Structure 1
Amino acid sequence: MLRAKISIATLGGTLSMQRTTPGAGITPALGGEALLASIPELNDLAELQVESLGLLPSASMDFEFLLSVLSWAKRQVAQGAQGVVITQGTDTLEETATFFEYLWDLDQPLVLTGAMRGADQPGADGPANVLDACRVALSEDSTKRGVLVVMNAEIHQALAVRKTHSLAMQAFASPNLGPAGMIMEHRVHFARPASARKTVPWPVRTRQKVALLEAVLAADTTLVEQLVPLGYEGLVIAGFGAGHVSEPWSTALEAIAAQMPVIVSTRCGAGSTAVATYGFKGGEIDLINKGLHMSGGLCPRKARILLWLLIGSDSAHALSTYL
């Protein structure tokens, strides 16, 4: 009987970090083979293909690098991998998952994981997270679910997951939907069936700039007004409450929306933007009438990635079908 195959790529992040100098902070140090040598149980699960594609803190990754990682992952499936696991830093894990989710058009699962403690720290969580991620990648119930994030024995959908704590072990949550599943006694349990997904065409260009600005009390409009001269092609606003801005911002954004797509999200961390509740200037009804798009439950950071991909694939005209 043929063994299942899993491909694992390591990109760096806390999971790969160690303290190389006494008294210094931890930095990326472990490549794929060294990292997985500490998890012998993996060899009992499947035939493994392991590659080190990077050794970076996740804040230093960029979209072009992620496209190359995604191309690698697709090649692994074409070569027979039942699932693909990618390890990276947790700082941008929710954004990477979103980026991959919009471009991953295969039935096989793509599973992301990381760690909150360095590889040489007591109670390091990386090995358990990698082992759980591989279990999820091998589960038949993971097919057609797109990109999944596995952390702390929980499974999260890419578009729902958020990093909600800077240092705690329980750092990831899906505020609006809750976890998609859990790993209990080494078995994968999903809480709900797979749902329909919609992917974005592969970008044909990667130099487009999309800004993300947060609405704050008494903010002026200087930055907003400079976006067009600075060459930006899209804008996401992390708005107050259910997707609101001040009256001066409403006026400024009307002019911007005539020149580029503008999405308004909520900065609250949970919940959705509204569409038909508030009628004041700067409320969602006013902004929609001025040509702005409301993101619904998609958080500002994820909305920025969606807009970047749509602009890069010449598909910005279809933005409303993704929100």
Structure 2
Amino acid sequence: MGGTIAMVPGGRGGVVPALDAGELIAAVPGLAGLGLEITARGLRSLPSPSIGFGDLVALADAVKAEIAGGARGVVVTHGTDTIEETAIFLDLTVPGPAPVVVTGAMRAPTSAGADGPANLYAAIRVAAAEEARGLGALVVMSDEVHGARFVRKGHTSSMAAFVSPGFGPLGLVVEGEPRLRGTPRVPMSLAASDKVAGLRVGLITVALGDDGEILRRAGEVCDGIVLAGLGAGHVPADMVPVVAEVAGRVPVVLASRTGSGSVLRQTYGYPGSERDLLDRGLVHAGFLDPAKARVLLLLLLADGADKERITAAFEHYR
């Protein structure tokens, strides 16, 4: 799909996507000794901030076609900025036990200490591992194996940027061998419909002193909204009327901006607390971070889900 792993210096400074899938495979030592039949194909060559949901629909279709054609597993190379959204999209739209592993790089191939070849080697080993079957979509970076539901990019530039807050990785790659202790994927499969590209789901982050005006305006143009609340799922009291108004018109999912932990349900009872907001019809995101909650909400809306089904889906998947 592009990303730093496939970038080379551009004519105007900085690096840009340029390498194709075959070139990436050719740069990884040790693959010939694995006894695997590896095929390579290019789908996109983009920096990951420019990947859209239409691209992810095409990616999900391509992954399902490879699996239907007999692939034991699929590895997707991708830019790291939005790798977590792509991983959860694939987790929700590619059914079956075959491993789908997303990987990338924090340093371009021309950088000192480039990590792309090592990450790609580890990802291929995981995709071929029997223990990875049934775990859903995975992200493999720096010899760690993360589940799609919980992985996040937690640093702008560190080689150890990827973490799963509160849960940790599902396994490690040790001397090239996957050591997995994975939990089976949540049984949920949604269509990778072209309708996702025509929907608008907003992600609004609440801040100190927020009066809700940005949320109000977003509610006028969005089909659904994820509200990244303060702490365990809270908003300022002055914002509550706007939240209630918008939630009466479009689905509003309550997540937390903290980066770790679940939205609470019944600890706090003041205006703008999690109890207050859930009583006003917001949908509980559980452990899903705001970006992942947005992907799930968008896929549900594209599938025609009503408020009751959206609530049930978040209860099931979180």
TM over 0.5: yes
CA contact (8 A) 1:225 1:252 kept: yes
Q: What does 1:1-150 align with in structure 2 at a 5 Å threshold?
A: 11-21=1-11, 24-45=13-34, 46-150=36-140
Give me the whole-angstrom Cα distance separating, in 2, the residues matched to 1:274 and 1:64.
34
In 2, Cα distance between equivalents of 1:99 and 1:316: 20
Structure 2 counterpart of 1:227, from 202, 218, 233? 218
Q: Normalising by structure 1, report the TM-score.
A: 0.93
CA contact (8 A) 1:203 1:310 kept: no
Q: Distance in 1 between matches of 2:194 and 2:304?
A: 8
2:145 is the counterpart of 1:155 = yes
Deviation at 1:316, TM superposition (A): 3.8
Partner of residue 6, structure 1? none
1:256 aligns to what?
246
Bigger helix fraction: 2
Displacement after TM superposition at 1:134 (Å):
0.4
- Correspondent of 1:211 among 202, 213, 231: 202
Aligned to 1:53, the other structure's residue is in SS state: coil
**SS where residue 220 of structure 1 aligns?**
coil
Q: Which range moves more in the overlay, 248-257 or 201-210?
A: 201-210
Change (3 A) 1:234 1:196: closer
Q: Does 1:247 align with 2:229?
A: no
Q: Does structure 2 retain, via aligned residues, the 8 Å contact 1:215–1:237?
A: yes
Check the 8 A contact 1:307/1:316 in 2, yes or no.
no
Cα offsets for 1:210-238 (capped at 9, x unmatched): 110000011222222223432x1101111
Change (3 A) 1:281 1:235: same
Secondary structure in 1 aligned to 2:253? strand
- Specify the alignment match of 1:4 in structure 2: none
Letter in 1 for 2:48: S
Q: Secondary structure at the match of 2:245?
A: helix
Which amino acid is the alignment partner of residue 247 of structure 1?
A: A
* Length-normalised TM-score, structure 2: 0.94
The Cα RMSD (Å) is 1.4
| Cα distance in 1 for residues equivalent to 2:31 and 2:160 | 23
Select which of 178, 196, 211 maps to 1:188.
178
Q: Is 2:317 the counterpart of 1:306? A: no
Contact 1:243–1:294 (Cα < 8 Å) also in 2: no
Question: In structure 2, how many angstroms separate the alpha carbons of the residues matched to 1:285 and 1:40?
Answer: 54
Question: Number of matched residues?
Answer: 311
Q: 1:57 to 1:316 in 2, by over 3 A?
A: farther
Q: Indicate how the Cα distance of structure 1 residues 89 and 204 shifts in structure 2: closer, same or farther if over 3 A, else same.
A: closer
> Equivalents in 2 of 1:201, 1:69: separation in Å?
13
Which residue identity lines up with residue 91 of structure 1 in the other structure? Answer: D
For structure 1, the residue ranges without an aligned partner over 5 or more in a row are: 1-10
* Distance of aligned partners of 1:196 and 1:237 in 2 relative to their CA distance in 1, 3 Å threshold: closer
Instruction: Percent identity, please.
Output: 38
Q: Find the counterpart in structure 1 of residue 285 from structure 2.
A: 295
Superposition map of 1:256-295 within 5 A: 256-295=246-285
Of the structure 1 ranges 183-192 and 127-136, higher mean CA displacement relative to structure 2 is found in 183-192
Which structure's residues are more often strand, by fraction? 1
